[in-house]
Amino acid sequence: MDRVFKSKVDWWYHLLLFILIVICFVVVINGNIAAIAIILLITALAVHVMLSTYYIVTANGKLIAHCSIFPKKEIEISSIEGLERTIIPVSSYALSLNRIGIWSGKKLWMMVSPQNEKDFIKLLKQFNPNIKLINDTNFL
């Protein structure tokens, strides 16, 4: 059976949404139709990203990362070499800076931020017990 893990959402993402909503009100008050359309689209995308960023560990041993309108990314769990805690703020399918870097083929495949990290890691290790926990003894 597939298991779904929602992404953590940090305070900075909530702040971004709040700022976008405030900008929406300001733009509506000013009455600029083009600006209203653009800011509403950006706000809708930000909300959609928040509601639809998640990770699926499939019953047949795959990890699928999903983030809104962006293409889903898929990897065989058997090809994952290591997991590493990171706070690198580069673009990724993670809404928190408290991230797990997933290493495969000697390179960083993806950064994720599942809400239930311990269960996520345990499940990955059930499929691939050779996954190394890089530079962190506090994973489990």
Confidence of residue 11 (pLDDT cuts 50, 70, 90): very high
**Distance from C-alpha of 41 to C-alpha of 63, rounded to nearest angstrom:** 30
Does some domain include residue 97?
yes
Q: Would the pLDDT of 1 be above 80? A: yes
Does some domain include residue 110?
yes
- The CATH number covering residue 67 comes to 2.30.29
Distance (Å) of CA 28 to CA 33, 42, 130: 8, 14, 55
- Counted domains in the chain: 1
Structural domain containing residue 51: 3-134
Does some domain include residue 139?
no
**Distance from C-alpha of 117 to C-alpha of 111, rounded to nearest angstrom:** 13
pLDDT single digits (tens) 37-62:
999 999 999 999 999 999 999 999 99
Share of the chain above pLDDT 90, in %: 75
Does some domain include residue 66?
yes
Q: Would the pLDDT of 139 be above 80? A: no
Q: What does the block give as tokens for 71?
A: 């293409």
pTM of the entire predicted model? 0.86
Does some domain include residue 82?
yes
